[in-house]
Amino acid sequence: MTNKVVVLGSLNVDTTLHIAQMPKPGETISAQSKTNSAGGKGANQAVAAVRSGADTSFIGQVGDDELGGFMVDALNGNGINTEKISKISEEGTGSAVILLDEAGQNCIMVYGGANQAIKPAMADECEDLIASADILISQFETPQDVTLRAFEIAKKHGVTTILNPAPATEIIDGLLAVTDLIVPNETESATLTGITVDDTESMDNNAAKFSEMGIDNLIITVGDRGAYYHTKNDSGFVKAFKVKAVDTTAAGDTFIGAFSSQVKKDLSNVEEALVYAQKASSITVQRAGALPSIPTSKEIAAEYK
């Protein structure tokens, strides 16, 4: 069965500056090279989903500019339904500047632009599309009130909702009540719960805190260590596949998109879907760029026979 995935999220043109090491405060350094590519958490997750076989649609917004056309073309080129991407003239298309060092670590500065100008009414305009989905994903690079409205619509129609709270910020009232699964990384989880993530006990404590906050289903990604999961029925840890990282930019987004392509609506196969997602992200980190680095299901199958 093919999952039908809808992503509500951000569309950013990424400019990556390749550097030897991260600059210190006040330091001026030279970039070794510069690359431009399509990105944004929403776009990355949608491409990861469609490349792993999901029937994928996108809800988002771009500026009435050249970058906006570039982003829509990039999604269309991957076979993603872009009919619900709107265009505005008041804001420019979202963009990001990424500093990427030789160890494969990055720092990212984001201009929200049109992404941040989305209104909750857009969710209502997309009700038929949301209702037709198996999975609806959103992040925090678009306004939370839009996600809240979209998730409310999703729950009305029995659609499973996945929230990626990145970048981490205080969650608005009501959002967790309509979220089926929350997927932060360890830093984001600690920001939201106030509990540092460093071992299994602390992950269990984070899960307990999230339960207090109103959500029982949790995945915490912990980089090259793997991913912790906790549901109403089970919990555990899936180790990452050991590879040499070149660029970690889209690793987390690849993980979520690939996961959404495999997970069942009732989350009954979380561990199996996690293993697949780890395989996908392990390939992503070995390549440069955001969208260009995301593997297809055939590439994942070939790498992990």
Residues identified as active-site = 253
- Within 8 A by CB and 6+ apart from 289, the residues are 14, 16, 35, 37, 247, 249, 250
Cα 108 to Cα 33, 111, 169, 240, distances in angstroms: 16, 10, 16, 23
- Binding annotation for substrate: 12-14, 40-44, 141, 253
Annotated binding site: which residue ranges?
Answer: 12-14, 40-44, 141, 185, 221-226, 247, 249, 252-253, 284, 287, 289, 293
Total Cβ atoms within 10 A of residue 298: 11
DSSP strands (E only) in the chain: 4-8, 12-18, 33-39, 55-63, 81-88, 94-100, 106-111, 135-139, 160-164, 181-182, 218-221, 226-230, 235-239
**Integer Cα distance of 239 and 232 in angstroms:** 21
Binding site members for ATP? 185, 221-226, 252-253
Nearest to 35 by CA among 300, 215, 287: 287
